[in-house]
Each structure stands twice: as C-alpha cells, then as structure tokens.
C-alpha cells in the first residue's frame, strides 16, 4: 500500500476529504517521530510499540568486492506488534 492509497482509505473510512486525511496522517507521523526523538519509545495498546535502539559499530563485507568495511553505529527504529494486531494477522 502506498501513502496515497492509505490516505484514500482513511478518507473513505472516516468520511472526510483526502486533504483532511493527508493532514491527519502527516500529524500522526510528525508526532510519532517527535516522541521517538524525545523518549525513544511509544506504545499503542492493541497495536504495538515503536522503540529506538542503538546498533553498535561493526565490521561488514562489500558483497561486490569482498573487501572488509567498517559500518558506523547508528540508531534504528524497531516495531513490536501488540497481541491484538498479531492475532488479527
């Protein structure tokens, strides 16, 4: 599903315009992003939990040349599905 398809689905389900649905989706993404930056974790009961975890620096290999490379440490976002969501799938 693309972002445009999601906006169309939200608009249809909620009985609002696509512009309003796009605004709601942007607000959701902005607020989740801000909370992850601030606290590193956000949970939605029944849906799941987003969290930020630190991935340590490590040694990797370039698959084309076989050359050893250093991969920098970075923060990544992790999602764990809630029980209700997992049962629906």
| pLDDT reported for residue 36 | 94
| pLDDT reported for residue 26 | 96
One pLDDT digit (tens) per residue for the chain, 89 residues: 999 999 999 999 999 999 999 999 999 999 999 999 998 899 999 999 999 999 999 999 999 999 999 999 999 999 999 999 999 98
Contact 72, 54 (CB under 8 A): no
| pLDDT reported for residue 45 | 92
Positions of E strands within 3-86? 41-44, 48-55, 58-61, 68-71, 74-81
Using CB atoms within 10 Å of the CB of residue 40, give its burial: 0 to 12 exposed, 13 to 18 middle, 19+ buried. middle
| pLDDT reported for residue 86 | 92
């Amino acid at each position: 599903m693309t972002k445009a398809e999601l906006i169309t689905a939200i608009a249809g389900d909620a009985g609002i315009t696509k512009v309003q649905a796009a605004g709601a989706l942007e607000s959701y993404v902005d607020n989740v992003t801000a909370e992850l930056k601030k606290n590193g974790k956000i949970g939605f009961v029944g849906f799941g939990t987003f969290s930020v975890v630190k991935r340590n620096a490590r040694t990797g290999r370039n698959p084309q040349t076989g050359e050893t490379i250093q991969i920098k440490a970075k923060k990544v976002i992790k999602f764990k599905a809630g029980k209700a969501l997992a049962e629906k799938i």
